[in-house]
Structure 1
Amino acid sequence: MTTSYGTNEANRQDTIVANGATKIAALKVLIVGAGIGGLTAVIALRKEGHDVQVFEQSAFAREAGAAIHLAPNANGVLRRLGIFAESFGANSMDRLTEFTSSGEKQRSIDLREPNKQWQHPWHLAHRIDLHNNLKLAATDPHGKGSVQIHTSSKVTNVDPMSASVTLENGARFQGDLVIGADGVHSVARKSIPESNFKPFGSGKSAFRFLVPRKLAQEDPTTQQFLQNDGELLIWYANDRRIVMYPTSNNTVLNFVCVHPEAETEEQSGENWNQTGDLDLLLKVYSTFDSAVLKLLGKAEPGSIKVWKLLDMDVIPSWTNERLALLGDSAHPFLPHQGQGAGVAIEDAAALAVVLPMGTKPEEVVERLKLYQDIRVDRANKIQAHSRLAGGDSDSHFKIDMYGFTNYHFGHDEYDNATQRFREWQWKRKPNLYWRMPIAFGPMPGPRQTHLGVPRNGNESTFTTASIKFKTSRTLLQNLFPPGRSGWRFKNPGTIAYASFSQTTLGKMEWLGGSGYNHIGLYIHGVEYEKKDGSTVSGSYLPLLFENLTDPIVSGREELGMPKLYTSIDVYNRSKSYRIRTGWEGAFWGEFHLEDLAEVDPSSEKGAISGEADAGILAYRYIPKSGFQNKGLSAEEHVIWDSFDAATTTPRPQKIYKAGKASFKIDALNWEELPTLHHIISRLAELPVYEVVGGKVVEGVGVPDVSTAGPIE
């Protein structure tokens, strides 16, 4: 086994070559913080095949937290990652009911019907259950990639340039990128220039605690609040509110009681583990309905937590070199829309999308910038929504809660980030070929793959049969674009030359190794006078028939070639070559080359068109769309230069000259040729004064015609 190493500081193994096969190496990802966002990032990045190390300052010995909203936008990501919250006790959010502080019901909304408009369910989960299941998925020994979770490992410094982290004990770890998922008091954020903002109090604090549902159901006074499963209840006063909703299969009630920060200043801190006081809780809400107070009184005194609701200004950047922030470290939310964890989960999904397996270490910096571009506007907007939703009831703001909900829930970050990543890749390749339908990206064809990689036609094969004849210049001239000046023959006589040339192509990479046939009329000795008075000359191509849809469409839209469909049957034997053309069983053309004899390949020119002209000329007409919009939308005069500038040059291997060549064109009628009669009848008008010659050329190397373009 041969090993080749990359050039980054970690001296990582970029590719492994074994038994002649190249294996793309995984990125080494360091994640600071193992909260919901950090663990979701582990799962998503491991699914891409990367190797992840996580540094968590806690010991995971006793997890804290109450309930959490898993709205459809967050659930969509989790379910793609194999996390189904209903499997560990999350219950659906079925109803929203609002009261005044005195207990007067304001409205009750059945959410089961509206929920049908979302692709994914809206769940109310226990935060600890969610965290535990994320840990199980993140550490799945059967998953792709690898993971190490270092607990009791406090990160004190992050170096964005070297993608390294240093722990409190002095240990240093290095990777290809660092993700800061370490919350509102982020250490990683200190390594983002001009982003070391301090969180500040929003003016509100919150009590948070859980109550067994059974306790409230057994009390005649409080059982009125438990008539429906999956019901979220809110009691509003001017400057405070109580939010209650069930979790754990509707067996536990979660309370969040938001109030002015000053009223619990002595007890509240900036973390979730600050113990609150039941008597103080009841005092803060003493003006509320007595039944609600009795409900609050069922909280176990030691279980109440109280903390300040922190806000933070929008930071100027989430990334620096090979460091990116995620979740609260980048955009701490107030809890009033229940989207803090959800948006962190979305961040993790976007990171995984822009860092697929195969991403090289040297590409990490720009990919992280792309991640920020994808996520920053949405995160900032939801952060602003959360501030508005938490305002006091006498606020002057007009709050469009339905608009907020639609914006939050009607989003799938995997779909969004995937499309943004596609568009970013497309923009980095400005020479891609585009044709309808463009929503699916650049169209693969003879000139490029879907990803813009040029095709190689060096080994493709061609067999071209040409019949050159003398005919009427005036009739050929009528096949120039009507009313378009600038087109003329180089010689003024009434006799001109043209060729019917048919080619069979094979071993075409862009067609999976298969091929197709085409046949066209090439009018020789034509020139076009440009607006500046200079001229270009070549063989004019009024039409080209092909027997396969893909080359017809690509040639018409990408190159401006006048392509149409016809069936093309070829009989190729040692002494004769015959072609028959038709439409749905109605045959309009017969082309025969007989008594073929091999000649020296160097004695003949013009293998493709049957003439050694400098290039092929064509006219492109683009009509307006819609029946009522008849007329010209755009036009181009097109030239395909000689093979000198092409990526592939045809290499004739055998040339056969015909002892006798002839062709016959039957215009048939409109019933027999309903789409082609107007064309074939014009071809049938051409007199054949003399068949000048016929030949068959066999060779290798088919150019991609990428030299075709506007004359001026």
Structure 2
Amino acid sequence: MVSQTTRIAVIGGGMGGLTAAIALTRIAEVQVTVFERASKLGEVGAGVTVAPNAQRVLDTLGVLEQVKRAGAVPEGHGVYQDAMGRLVTDAAWEDSAKQYRNIGMYRPDLIDVLAREVNPETIRLGHKLVSVSAQDSGVHVEFENGVRDVFDAVVGADGIHSVVRGAVGQFPDPVYSGYMVYRGVVDASRLPEDWPRISQVWMGNKRHFMCYPLQQGKLFNFVAGVPSDRPLQGPWSGPAEVGELAAEFAGDGWDQSLHRFMREIDETFWWGLFDHEPLTNWSKGPIALLGDAAHTMLPHQGQGVNQAIEDSMALATFLRAAESVAEIPEAFRRYTSVRMQRTAILQHGSRRAGAMFDAQYEFADLKKRDADLRVGRDFRRSAVFDYDAKKVAERALNRFRRIA
């Protein structure tokens, strides 16, 4: 194991960066400092699903119960419906062992839960990274506010616009999906008492609308995907008028239950959906990537944050096995080799899921779309939800040791 005096900088204080800090501290037992560009930790006011594969990691880290208390476990499996509310298929919402079930989380709540598990003295706010470079004396980092420091290693969890990514020689162009989403939350007390406390998706007319519960059922998150070129004309996100969202789903071609939900929306914002092609490398020497910096993906499988959480466990497991600072580059290479294929599959799978929701390409044939959704339910449970990031990393370590 590397020395407990080993210093690791995590660039980015989002959900992935904070989970990485927890895992590196508790599993690898190293000293971690988190640098966040914003003046305070926070997230946009929308929801995220903490899936069984990520819950397995959080359980190992001792954080899962806190997440459950802050979130909402649906009261049954989710449903995919056509525009008029006719059932297409139910959705996977638990692992095969029925040990973990999807948890709907308000993003600011998840940040709060994770931040409470990190020593506040190790979080540096208002630090926008401008450069990072590996030298003989260590990894040098410099921030816009003039602060400079040297660490034994750096983990870039700094999102789709990652600065750290350039230090490992990766410069992917963002790829626009052709879609943006309207997002926000609704006070559950304003909905009918018998409103289902589950995840629901309506699909029709090259659009889709999703909602699911948060905060022990006190809020409902909503996400509405529509085709648009707006993100290509300026900022990638911004405030939106509720009326423009309502117009996208107006008319008799949509379920009246959906219209009932939408009448309770007071405010919303829009967000362009971008990803990038899978990278060819995630690490270079003592510098590695994690989360969106490594594998930005569309949200249609709900796996972006969950993959960052898996990354954190794998990274900490490989780093724990390093016997000195000199072995950190090899630990990062092993981490990269184990994680890249899985996330690349999910990046492409998320594009495919979006095409299904919006009846694009071959899924304009609705019979094919519906059949693929039904098959995908079981695949998602076994290939995505049943994945154990810690066990996979440990098995890989054993293989690497036999080869060595």
Do they fold alike, i.e. is TM over 0.5?
Answer: yes
Q: Distance in 2 between matches of 1:373 and 1:215?
A: 49
Contact 1:269 1:306 in 2 (8 A): no
1:109 corresponds to which residue?
Answer: 90
Please list, as runs of the form range in 1=range in 2, the aligned pairs for 1:631-670 lying within 5 A after superposition. Answer: none
Q: Distance in 2 between matches of 1:25 and 1:179?
A: 17
2:15 corresponds to which residue?
Answer: 36
Q: Does 1:148 align with 2:129?
A: no
Q: Name which of 272, 284, 292 aligns with 1:320.
A: 284
Q: Does 1:334 align with 2:298?
A: yes
Q: Name which of 63, 71, 90 aligns with 2:51.
A: 71
The amino acid across from 1:181 in the alignment is: A
Instruction: Report the alpha carbon displacement of residue 107 of structure 1 after superposing the two structures with TM.
Output: 3.8
Q: Name which of 60, 80, 104 aligns with 1:80.
A: 60
> Alpha carbons of 1:33 and 1:110: their partners in 2 closer, same or farther (altered >3 Å)?
closer
**For each residue in 1:404-437, what CA deviation from the matched residue of structure 2 results, as whole angstroms up to 9, or x when unmatched?**
3321111010111111112212221xxxxxxxxx
Higher relative contact order, structure no. (Cα contacts within 8 Å, ≥ 6 residues apart): 2
Q: Distance in 2 between matches of 1:320 and 1:364?
A: 10
1:384 corresponds to which residue?
Answer: 348
2:178 corresponds to which residue?
Answer: 203
Please list, as runs of the form range in 1=range in 2, the aligned pairs for 1:173-184 lying within 5 A after superposition. Answer: 173-184=149-160
Contact 1:93 1:123 in 2 (8 A): no
**For each residue in 1:659-701, what CA deviation from the matched residue of structure 2 results, as whole angstroms up to 9, or x when unmatched?**
xxxxxxxxxxxxxxxxxxxxxxxxxxxxxxxxxxxxxxxxxxx
Instruction: Report the alpha carbon displacement of residue 164 of structure 1 after superposing the two structures with TM.
Output: 1.9
Q: Distance in 2 between matches of 1:98 and 1:381?
A: 23
**For each residue in 1:614-665, what CA deviation from the matched residue of structure 2 results, as whole angstroms up to 9, or x when unmatched?**
xxxxxxxxxxxxxxxxxxxxxxxxxxxxxxxxxxxxxxxxxxxxxxxxxxxx
Instruction: Report the alpha carbon displacement of residue 373 of structure 1 after superposing the two structures with TM.
Output: 0.5
**Highest Rg: 1 or 2?**
1
The amino acid across from 2:298 in the alignment is: L
The amino acid across from 1:104 in the alignment is: G
The amino acid across from 1:208 in the alignment is: R
Q: Distance in 2 between matches of 1:83 and 1:25?
A: 22
> Alpha carbons of 1:115 and 1:29: their partners in 2 closer, same or farther (altered >3 Å)?
closer
Please list, as runs of the form range in 1=range in 2, the aligned pairs for 1:467-486 lying within 5 A after superposition. Answer: none
Report the count of equivalent residues.
Answer: 385
> Alpha carbons of 1:54 and 1:93: their partners in 2 closer, same or farther (altered >3 Å)?
farther
2:390 corresponds to which residue?
Answer: 414
Q: Distance in 1 between matches of 2:45 and 2:354?
A: 21
Q: Distance in 2 between matches of 1:380 and 1:110?
A: 23
Q: Distance in 1 between matches of 2:385 and 2:177?
A: 25
The amino acid across from 2:264 in the alignment is: K
> Alpha carbons of 1:396 and 1:299: their partners in 2 closer, same or farther (altered >3 Å)?
same
Q: Name which of 249, 255, 261 aligns with 1:289.
A: 255
**For each residue in 1:212-249, what CA deviation from the matched residue of structure 2 results, as whole angstroms up to 9, or x when unmatched?**
111112xxxxx66x1x33x1111111311000111111
Q: Does 1:427 align with 2:391?
A: no
1:503 corresponds to which residue?
Answer: none
> Alpha carbons of 1:167 and 1:340: their partners in 2 closer, same or farther (altered >3 Å)?
same
> Alpha carbons of 1:317 and 1:266: their partners in 2 closer, same or farther (altered >3 Å)?
closer
> Alpha carbons of 1:118 and 1:268: their partners in 2 closer, same or farther (altered >3 Å)?
farther
Q: Distance in 2 between matches of 1:203 and 1:332?
A: 16
Q: Distance in 1 between matches of 2:92 and 2:278?
A: 33
**Partner SS, residue 117 of structure 1:** coil
Contact 2:74 2:213 in 1 (8 A): no
Contact 1:267 1:276 in 2 (8 A): no
Q: Distance in 2 between matches of 1:240 and 1:292?
A: 13
Q: Distance in 2 between matches of 1:318 and 1:307?
A: 26
Please list, as runs of the form range in 1=range in 2, the aligned pairs for 1:562-581 lying within 5 A after superposition. Answer: none
Please list, as runs of the form range in 1=range in 2, the aligned pairs for 1:574-653 lying within 5 A after superposition. Answer: none
TM-score under structure 1 length normalisation: 0.52
**For each residue in 1:284-325, what CA deviation from the matched residue of structure 2 results, as whole angstroms up to 9, or x when unmatched?**
222433442342131113xx1101000111121111111100
Q: Which has the higher helix share?
A: 2
Q: Distance in 2 between matches of 1:108 and 1:25?
A: 50
Name which of structure 1's ranges 252-261 and 79-88 shifts more when overlaid on structure 2: 79-88
Q: Does 1:100 align with 2:64?
A: no
Name which of structure 1's ranges 289-298 and 247-256 shifts more when overlaid on structure 2: 289-298
**Partner SS, residue 418 of structure 1:** helix
Contact 1:73 1:408 in 2 (8 A): yes
The unaligned stretches of length 5 or more in structure 1 are 1-13, 16-23, 141-146, 218-222, 429-712
Aligned Cα RMSD in Å? 2.3
> Alpha carbons of 1:92 and 1:297: their partners in 2 closer, same or farther (altered >3 Å)?
closer
**Partner SS, residue 351 of structure 1:** helix
2:144 corresponds to which residue?
Answer: 168
The unaligned stretches of length 5 or more in structure 2 are none
The amino acid across from 1:117 in the alignment is: A
Please list, as runs of the form range in 1=range in 2, the aligned pairs for 1:338-487 lying within 5 A after superposition. Answer: 338-356=302-320, 359-391=323-355, 392-396=358-362, 399=372, 400-401=375-376, 402-428=378-404
Contact 1:242 1:255 in 2 (8 A): yes
Q: Which has the higher strand share?
A: 1
Instruction: Report the alpha carbon displacement of residue 64 of structure 1 after superposing the two structures with TM.
Output: 2.1
The amino acid across from 2:199 in the alignment is: L
Q: Distance in 1 between matches of 2:167 and 2:232?
A: 33
The amino acid across from 1:98 in the alignment is: Y
